[in-house]
A = this chain, B = another copy of it.
Amino acid sequence: MIETALLVVIVICVIALALAAILARNLLSQDEGTPKMREVSDAIKVGAEAFIKRQYSTIAIIAIILAVVIFAVYYFTGQQSLAMYTAFAYIVGAACSAVAGVVAMSIAVRTNIRTAAAAQHSDGKALDFSFRGGAISGLIITSMSLLGVSLTYIALGADPQTTPFVIIGFGFGASFVALFAQLGGGIYTKAADVGADLVGKVEAGIPEDDVRNPATIADLVGDNVGDCAGRGADLFESTAAENIGAMILGVALFPIFGVNGILFPIVMCALGLLASMIGILSVKGKDGADPMDAMNRGYYITAIISAVFLFFGVQWLLGSTTGWMYFFYAGLVGIVLSVCFLRVTLYYTDHHYRPVKEIADASETGAATNIITGFSVGLETTAVPALLIGASLILSYWFGSMTGIPNGGLYGTAVATVGMLMVCAYVLAMDTFGPIADNAGGIVEMSGAPEEVRKRMDSLDAAGNTTKALTKGYAIGSASLAVFLLFNAYMADIAKLTGKAFDVVNLASVPVFVGALLGAMLVFLFASLAIRAVSKTAQSVIEAVRIQFKNPAIMAGTQKPDYAAVIDITTQGALRNMVLPGILVIGFPILIGVTMKHEALAGFLMVATITGILLALILNNSGGAWDNAKKFIESGAHGGKGSEAHKAAVIGDTLGDPFKDTAGPSLHVLIKLLATLTLVLAPLFI
């Protein structure tokens, strides 16, 4: 018999999928614009689908090898009964994550053309279409994550005290695919972008998105495969990992709450999905208005409704203890944290505030000062988020302790994480809106649409840049909390395996300290490899474009450049260059765990996470700030386009590209991957 709570989850997910289907049908029936627009859009679609197909083939091979490893680890450490189950959960998680990425990408490449067409008449409509495109992704990804966890839980026996330890395979599968999806997509998108800019804008002196540049289509494809597919997989994984981590902590509370404590996280996420649906439907574009206003309003509606649902959810599932209100407060901490993270990111990446203004000012004395200032801003952005994460952990732990139940403190942090992830579907909608608007802008530009249409798209594109930055802030904030749960899940898992309490990770012992040092190092090394992969792949793109530019007919605009050739080269480069960093971050922790054992590995994991969170903030925010400083100058400040300040700002922006769209987001995934990896391979480390 299925629990009522599980039924609620499944029903809400079905509603969300139905809503997504309705939105999609409505969207697909819209006008597809001029033939020229369709031509561009079709090229993007073909390129994106070709990349995704090849990318997932590569990922599938590595995934299957790992499935065998997981099976073997359990089989040969005397846990034959778990071997098949864990490997099964892993494969389901990996498959769901892949589907989530493909869905996000497919919707995006169909929405961009319709947004471009709508922009011919109305910017309100263009916002509606692009945001709904994002919403479809958000709804599908979130419900797939919840359904995946719930159905796997049921399929694996639905025993509240043992099943949570088995479905960690699902979380690892999701992380694994997310890593490669984000890394490969991130390399692709920025190699194409940097390559197109350097060889087009800098060398040949033609504008961005100029049809003569053979790398433009690859650049537009990149937005889809990097931003849409990548972040889709990232937040899919966050939800899955957080749910599983919280369920494992719930096992410790089984004597108090029974199965309710274990199902609590997924129920709350489902209620959050419901709140997000209301928020999504409240967003309505208005001609001439700032698109951010409508989206921000929708966000606050989602957050407030989530808080209300949180109250009732806590009362329903955890109300059997007298101090349950404290769990509600802990959940509120998570919701408030999500709002704070968005505000802080806005401050650091929006041109209305000091940091971006300072970078724009510094551009007047050249690229060096632009970059020095931007990098210093990036380093600075670690301060407030770290204080916020620290305060949230302490506060939610304290609230949890006030409930008076054993392990209540830890469960308080789980409830805070749940609170933060309730708004996830809405955030995903905002996030995917960004690349759709970006793509629609590119289509408008390349199809030679009139000036007013371009202007309409510019404001939407700027909003997209902002939402992309904001949602990265949210992703890293929620990842920090989720990972803290996973640490504790790992320790619970080790304790279960060894039959001995494992609640101390002694940083003062030499192996743990060395593990911690190597964990922090891995994060920097991984970022190095990710950034290097972009510049290597960009180099191939540049060479391919240069060859075509030697053809005078292409430069004269009388012959169409060979877009497919550049797409092909970018695809190959991105896939080749994602393998080394990917294998490093899987192999190195296994090596540490096997040689230095579980406590040193815990030190490794925790300090890698701390460093990963902070480095991701630095990379995301400095990149976002450079980008917006450039856009601010392009809007006319400091001499506007073509000025010396603008040239300097373009260099800063180019540097920021691999920071904010390759290395930064890949780090989000990395920290969750490390946590799920250690969890699933725990038997190796004891």
Contact = CB atoms under 8 A, between A and B. Distances in A.
Interface stretch (A55-63, A131-139, A527-535): A527-535
A372 interface: yes
Nearest to A392: B514
Interface stretch (A147-155, A309-317, A602-610): A602-610
Contact of A382 (B484, B491, B525): B525
Contacts of A390: 514, 517-518
Contact of A606 (B389, B504, B516, B650): B516
A518 B532 CA distance: 29
Interface stretch (A80-88, A551-559, A633-641, A651-659): A651-659
Contacts of A387: 518, 521
A655 B510 CA distance: 36
Interface stretch (A253-261, A271-279, A362-370): A362-370
A513 B198 contact: no
A371 interface: yes
Contacts of A602: 507-508
A379 B527 contact: yes
Contacts of A521: 382-383, 386-387, 614
B532 A376 contact: yes
A640 B376 CA distance: 31
A397 interface: yes
Interface string A371-391: 111011111101100110110
Interface centre among A365, A507, A655 (most CB of B within 10 A): A507
Contacts of A383: 521, 524-525
A409 interface: yes
Given A362-B535, A366-B198, A514-B390, A524 B651 contact: no
Q: Is the interface of A mostly helix, strand, loop or mixed?
A: helix
A413 B386 CA distance: 32
A505 B503 contact: no
Given A372-B535, A507-B602, A525 B380 contact: yes
A337 interface: no
A138 to B, nearest CB: 29
Contact of A369 (B198, B367, B507): B198
A520 interface: yes
A506 interface: yes
A interface, size bucket: 35 or more
Nearest to A383: B525
Contact of A614 (B369, B491, B524): B524
A635 to B, nearest CB: 21
A202 interface: yes
B368 A510 contact: no
A394 interface: yes
A379 B531 contact: yes
Given A368-B198, A610-B607, A376 B531 contact: yes
B528 A365 contact: no
Contacts of A372: 194, 531, 534-535, 654-655, 658
A193 B501 CA distance: 58
Contacts of A366: 198, 202, 651
A542 interface: yes
A431 to B, nearest CB: 25
Given A194-B368, A607-B607, A409 B510 contact: yes
Contacts of A525: 379-380, 382-383
Nearest to A375: B531
22 contacts: A362-B535, A367-B367, A368-B655, A369-B535, A369-B654, A371-B371, A372-B531, A376-B528, A379-B527, A379-B528, A380-B524, A382-B525, A386-B520, A390-B517, A393-B510, A394-B511, A394-B514, A487-B508, A503-B508, A506-B506, A507-B606, A520-B611
Given A379-B525, A507-B607, 10 more contacts: A368-B651, A368-B655, A369-B535, A372-B658, A373-B535, A376-B532, A379-B531, A387-B518, A394-B511, A516-B610
